Amino acid sequence: MRRFAIGDIHGCSKALHTLIECIDPQPDDDLIFLGDYVDRGPDSRGVIDLILSLQDQCNVIALKGNHEIMLCGVAFGGLDPDIWMQSGGKATVSSYGGSLEKIPASHRSFLQSLKNFHETDGAIFVHASYDPNLSMDQQKDELLFWNHLPPVPSEHQSGKRVYVGHTPQGDGTIMDLGHIVCIDTYCFGTGYLTAMNVGTDELIQVDKKGFRRRVPAEAFFALISSGCKRLKGLLKRSPNVPSQSSSEPARRKQQRPASPSAEPDPSLLQTTAAPSPTESTVTAQAVSSERQESLDG
């Protein structure tokens, strides 16, 4: 059995589609989504469709993010839409054909069934942050869904490693401090959607266009492998030329095959990520500051 934590998707269905293909989930695998499926990116509806389809392939644990809280508040709770719309909600409305009334019943059930956190024998999974001195069922919503890092909490009292999203890592690199790992790597911007194998720490990263990121070592070996294959093909196609005796004049010059040029795959190139945008913090005050976050990015 494998267990993957998956960071903030934010409407990037192409990235999620490629990520799932790379993981190739098996029936006994756990895929733990850390929330923020909607807003900002172009296809929030497609993201939820993909996650729902995964439920027939493996074990799906879907957590709640602050953007799902805002969406549900507007769509099902009568919350004023202005702040949410400025925080990426416009893209979500567009993905549902211009009206939240077109949200399918299956999507509504999904959004209303999201978990606050998930805990295993050795790890904790939550959207934003936590109080290290409280058990997870005693945590405040402010910490679970809204607080950003820093401040970075100390090790949880359980001693378990904690996996979070919510705080975008603008350079596309996860923040791994040992006791806490943030895998929101700014997919909707110039970063990546990240999946982390909890058992091995292996990372799979895909940009919003659906291209997988290769770390330098992987890129190097991929180029070497590609070059070797091309060279082998050229050698197979080269004609056998009989050797000439030293006394025989060289009437023909044997042409050597040109050495293969292995150009790097565009998907292996890395893009320098832009600085991460700032999101809001807590409850009414935190939600209100989302207006400024939208204006910033």
Mapping DSSP onto H, E and C, the string for the chain reads CCEEEECCCCCCHHHHHHHHHHHCCCCCCEEEECCCCCCCCCCHHHHHHHHHHHCCCCEEEEECCHHHHHHHHHHHHCCCCHHHHHHHHHHHHHHCCCCHHHCCHHHHHHHHCCECEEECCCEEEECCCCCCCCCHHHCCHHHHHHCCCCCCCCCCCCCCEEEECCCCCCCCCCEECCCEEECCCCCCCCCCEEEEECCCCCEEEECCCCCECCCHHHHHHHHHHHHHHHHHHHHHHCCCCCCCCCCCCCCCCCCCCCCCCCCCCHHHCCCCCCCCCCCCCCHHHHHHCHHHHHHHC
pLDDT, one tens digit per residue, over 110-162 is: 999 999 999 999 999 999 999 999 999 999 999 999 999 999 999 999 999 99
What pLDDT is attached to residue 217?
59
Is residue 49 pLDDT above 90, yes or no? Answer: yes
In tens, the pLDDT along 199-246 reads 999 999 999 999 999 876 555 665 676 677 678 767 776 555 444 444
pLDDT of residue 221: 61
Domains, the chain, in order of start with CATH, read: 3-214+269-296 (3.60.21.10)
